Amino acid sequence: MPGGIYLNAFASKLRAGHSAEYELFKKHAPNYIRHLLRLRQHGFEIGSDKSFLEIGTGWDVNIAYLARLTGFHDITTVDAFCHVQPKQIEACLKLFPQLTRRLVVEFALDEQMLATELSKVAHIPGTEFCKWANINYVAPISKDYREVASTSCDLIYSTAVFEHIYVDDVVTTLAQIHRVLKPGGYTSHIIDLKDHFAYFQPGLPYNHCLRFTDKQWRFWAGNPMSFTNRLLASDWEKLFQDAGLEIVYFEELVERNIPRLDNNLLSDQFKHRNERDLTVGELHAIAKRPL
């Protein structure tokens, strides 16, 4: 539809909230810290010589700015659509000072320097922020990521993005990740395997999407806004490996909070998948491009 992205954003805000407070304090900051703590445990350290690429910017640039604050130098954030909303950026920037103490503790930052930086950002217009912060925002990004140079990234990052990419495009995206990573560079992705409609319809099973054939699922959810690819844990493990990426961490979180659909109601293509695949609701995969 004309203006479909904005209609989706409006409906999503009405239904889910998506306040600046929720986005920054409940989603972006905790997830960024989760990624970086796991990465640190597996040999990655932030440095002023390190470059950062975020896949899936969304409505604000919180993650990209967190990357700048915590010590990355070259920062790029990309999206399939130009979702960023200047008013959302401004609302989030006013909240960043509340993260000062947590960032100081988690990333050993200079508290005074961080406070000084954050005292300035509340007055930066959202339309000018990326230029001011030296953040490269690319949207829409091409499928072959031609806007990103080969072997230019030390870390590639996403949260709740990969599940929305069509399967053929997942293969392309992982191949491009391998291309743009420096040898020894890391890629870290949290992937939500659950039926996303279950977040908004109480009682809907987390694996409800698996009861449909591919044709049926594309009819109901085959659009850029709500599509999920229904890839399961073992699928993702194989896709990372097939892309030539070395998996160093593969956390599988079993879903325990949302009801499960009986296996007999699953479509034939999922009915005989193993228990591991049918119970994992979320993954955190960290991989490296081999030296």
For the chain, the structural domain boundaries read: 18-85+129-288
> What is the CATH class of 18-85+129-288?
alpha beta
Question: pLDDT tens for residues 42-54?
Answer: 999 999 999 999 9
Rg (CA), the chain: 19
Residue 64's φ and ψ, nearest 5 degrees, are: -60, -40
pLDDT band at 6 (very low <50, low <70, confident <90, very high): low
Q: How many CA atoms lie within 13 A of 287 on its CB side?
A: 24
| CB of 91 closer than 8 Å to CB of 125 | no
Would you say residue 3 has pLDDT above 90?
no
Number of CB atoms found within 10 A of residue 227's CB? 17
pTM: 0.94
Angle formed at CA 213 by CA 207 and CA 216, multiple of 5 degrees: 100
The label of the residue with tokens 């409940």 reads 26
On the question of pLDDT at 8 being above 60, the answer is yes
| Candidate from 9-18, 120-129, 153-162, 278-287 with smallest mean pLDDT | 9-18
The answer to whether 170 and 229 have CB atoms below 8 angstroms apart is: yes
Q: Are 178 and 232 in contact (CB under 8 A)?
A: no
Name the average pLDDT for the chain: 94
* E strand map for 33-180: 51-55, 74-78, 135-138, 153-159
- Sequence-distant contacts of 161-164: CB under 8 A, at least 24 apart: 161/55, 161/56, 161/189, 161/191, 162/55, 162/189, 162/191, 162/236, 163/191, 163/192, 163/193, 163/196, 163/228, 163/229, 163/231, 164/224, 164/227, 164/228, 164/229
Q: Under 8 Å CB-to-CB from 181, ≥6 apart: which residues? A: 151, 153, 154, 156, 187, 288, 289
pLDDT given for residue 222 in this prediction? 86
Task: Examine the pLDDT at 241 and tell me if it is beyond 60.
Answer: yes
Q: How confident is the model at residue 154 (pLDDT cuts 50, 70, 90)?
A: very high
